[in-house]
Structure 1
């Protein structure tokens, strides 16, 4: 960690922390090595380039982004969760018609739309892998620019991992979601966090001033930026090197809780602290005991940590694509095909679906309209418990930086996951909802 952070400090003392956010400067196609050339490994010089890169370079979709997405454990402390029950293989039942589903691409795309999924994966240079699982069977799987066994960052698609643990603790009566979160995080008492409930944090409606916005990313005084700087051990130009917990404890209040959706990775980290406080254990071990030890994964789950050992569950989680899908399958009727125990109960699913706040709630924040643009529709109800979008049919979706995606349809017993390295053109998100509603999975 020290070897990586040192050159970053010297090369971008006053740079924008790239974080798990959108960069203001896109990488032109001609300035990026085709991902095809990295399938069998990265050149040695790119490792050094990535180690010397500033944060903006790491997350703007260029060559260092490609390296960092698939080699995070070289740069950050990492907790390794092996498969404790051994792999539970997924059956295969190919459905080629999935590849024929078309979507209208986003304006940022250099490709002409609408395109079929097959054509998109073939032509879009940022597309690395796409997988669809129906009733526990792999029905569509392509790896145009990575290997099936490779690890890749989930980015913010990891956030429901945190809410799942909290929902388990709520079901056990160990957390009252309507009580102030400071009842459990006692060192936050006497701060603006007083009065913010666990449910407010779960739904990103805390009213606290740490929303990830264009403005906050450039403001060295803003908590949103300082959260990421603290996670990477990077010095804030005003406050120096800070601890994540100290930064979050000093978050100012923006408005009363429950008014609007204000997307903030710092809120996910509050759930990490909450779980650790209630369980008296570190988060990686909690998640392993409660969830991952029940999953018949093919590879190890990598949980990347801050310099002082805090699990960065808001986005720094890595696995292969099939194990990413296995996490989504925990929310479907086919959970028993990849797990020894039902860890997402009907009660938890009901809370996700039935306690969705209003459409006005999500659209009042910075990211609500952005999310609508990503999927090309605003027909969703809202967000819920760290899931970005929930539709009237119960389908759920989570986005990740550089176009990682997790889509779960419990009613259709369907999971869609995909990996990309694409910072500006997020058109990969446009395919999940049309695939789910194509009629191919309706009985």
Structure 2
């Protein structure tokens, strides 16, 4: 376990954490070209990052880069080693992938449309981009990072939590249609009564816990209190709170199922649910059920709150290839990187068959935001901690500052990438053009919303 050599001041630690999940555009100072950091960081930058404020850590500048790649220096960390030895990925380069073009976002300083090759060359914030098809690496570039370097997944980690819950559902240990309070006795008698596990999985609870720019900075709001409690920060009116107590106190805002309301606190509800059902810490649960089956190239890092709760809503790190290996668990090529199938057909069918309506996701704040990120609104909705599901069955998960995880089970395709930018998220614009380019085509089945 890695811990702080010199603990951050608690005010700075909270600023760091709240910024981590913010969606607001932050004006960035001109950063150092990232290729200068490929072989390491100067000592002075480490010192500056340890004392960085909100803007400096998450503006996409130098401190952001350091934190993304060295988070284990700042937070306690559970290390999950590869227990199977490396199950190497074969290579079958497809240069045509680099020629696929996409329009840039309106906020981008880059002039588009650009090909993927052009984007990775010109986008100073782009660090790595990897495409795996049928278990083989068909495109891989590291313009501003080393292949073996660790990097935060940010919110792309959220499906890790839903995968464990789906396994427990398949085993009959959880009934997703029962109130989540069935499994959390100390939550009975609270506003969580009537909220099902499926509602939590789909971020459709109607609870007043949504992450917004305003809620993260309102000391009376549950979203802020969740983050404060995770980092031991003293609330202005309530003092230091326990995370579980804060979640228990969440008030009801609307009836469940009306709209998609994104909230990292809901992912942590799934972590608590898994720990309660399994009577074990989440890091060990995930290792036993998932990661111990994977022939990874490096260790998976799960970054923890001070009292040992895995912050699965965003604080997970690995190298890019192992990030792709997680995505491959949802494809027919899982057997090329794992000794056991951990994403069953039943789980994958559940993600697809229980997807909600397009109106449901667009009724929430983040639906239109997600449409702008990918440059299209032809998706159906979110499902089970995945941000987007398309009619052809493809899945998408976004992460703060431009991390991305795209999985096409029917095409046997995975796309992952690392970036450091909190404003220009144009990297997301390439996933659908690549997947639908015809390079990986065969007849795609339709997915129907429930």
Task: State the TM-score, normalizing by the size of structure 1.
Answer: 0.96
Q: 1:14 to 1:82 in 2, by over 3 A?
A: closer
Match of 1:7 in 2: 9
Q: Aligned partners of 2:41 and 2:383: how far apart in 1?
A: 38
After superposition, the C-alpha distances for 1:283-322 in whole angstroms (9 at most, x for unaligned) are: 0000000000000000000000001000000110000000
Match of 2:189 in 1: 190
Displacement after TM superposition at 1:58 (Å):
2.0
Displacement after TM superposition at 1:237 (Å):
3.1
Match of 2:156 in 1: 157
Q: Would you say how many aligned residue pairs link Structure 1 and Structure 2?
A: 440
Q: Aligned partners of 1:163 and 1:368: how far apart in 2?
A: 20
After superposition, the C-alpha distances for 1:399-431 in whole angstroms (9 at most, x for unaligned) are: 000000000000000000000001000101000
Q: How do residues 427-438 of structure 1 correspond to structure 2 at under 5 angstroms?
A: 427-438=426-437
Q: Aligned partners of 2:240 and 2:190: how far apart in 1?
A: 21
The question of whether the paired residues in 1 share the 8 Å contact of 2:4 and 2:76 is answered with no
Displacement after TM superposition at 1:226 (Å):
2.0
Q: 1:59 to 1:244 in 2, by over 3 A?
A: farther
Q: Aligned partners of 1:6 and 1:153: how far apart in 2?
A: 19
Q: Aligned partners of 1:351 and 1:27: how far apart in 2?
A: 41
Match of 2:307 in 1: 308
The question of whether the paired residues in 2 share the 8 Å contact of 1:15 and 1:56 is answered with no
Q: Aligned partners of 1:178 and 1:212: how far apart in 2?
A: 25
Structure 2's unaligned 5+ residue stretches are 443-450
Match of 2:446 in 1: none
Displacement after TM superposition at 1:13 (Å):
8.5
Match of 1:115 in 2: 114
Q: How do residues 198-347 of structure 1 correspond to structure 2 at under 5 angstroms?
A: 198-347=197-346
RMSD in angstroms over aligned alpha carbons? 1.6
After superposition, the C-alpha distances for 1:150-186 in whole angstroms (9 at most, x for unaligned) are: 0000000000000000000000000000000011011
Match of 1:25 in 2: 26
Displacement after TM superposition at 1:94 (Å):
0.3
Displacement after TM superposition at 1:225 (Å):
1.8
The question of whether the paired residues in 2 share the 8 Å contact of 1:181 and 1:198 is answered with yes
Displacement after TM superposition at 1:50 (Å):
1.2
Displacement after TM superposition at 1:282 (Å):
0.3
Displacement after TM superposition at 1:231 (Å):
2.2
Q: Aligned partners of 1:301 and 1:58: how far apart in 2?
A: 23
Structure 1's unaligned 5+ residue stretches are none
Q: Aligned partners of 1:209 and 1:100: how far apart in 2?
A: 45
Q: How do residues 174-189 of structure 1 correspond to structure 2 at under 5 angstroms?
A: 174-189=173-188
Deviates more, 1:325-334 or 1:13-22: 13-22
Match of 2:447 in 1: none
The question of whether the paired residues in 2 share the 8 Å contact of 1:200 and 1:258 is answered with yes
Q: Aligned partners of 2:236 and 2:396: how far apart in 1?
A: 36
SS at match of 2:20: coil
Q: Aligned partners of 2:175 and 2:108: how far apart in 1?
A: 45
Displacement after TM superposition at 1:240 (Å):
3.2
Q: Aligned partners of 1:12 and 1:72: how far apart in 2?
A: 12
Q: Aligned partners of 2:74 and 2:133: how far apart in 1?
A: 36
Say if 2:130 is the partner of 1:128.
no
Q: 1:56 to 1:337 in 2, by over 3 A?
A: same
Q: 1:188 to 1:64 in 2, by over 3 A?
A: same
Deviates more, 1:97-106 or 1:213-222: 213-222
Q: 1:286 to 1:26 in 2, by over 3 A?
A: same
Q: 1:189 to 1:207 in 2, by over 3 A?
A: same
Displacement after TM superposition at 1:249 (Å):
1.4
Displacement after TM superposition at 1:18 (Å):
1.3
The question of whether the paired residues in 2 share the 8 Å contact of 1:20 and 1:59 is answered with no
The question of whether the paired residues in 1 share the 8 Å contact of 2:402 and 2:421 is answered with yes
The question of whether the paired residues in 1 share the 8 Å contact of 2:78 and 2:301 is answered with yes
Q: Aligned partners of 2:84 and 2:277: how far apart in 1?
A: 27
Displacement after TM superposition at 1:117 (Å):
0.4
SS at match of 1:207: coil
After superposition, the C-alpha distances for 1:94-150 in whole angstroms (9 at most, x for unaligned) are: 000000000000011000011000000001011000000000000000000100000
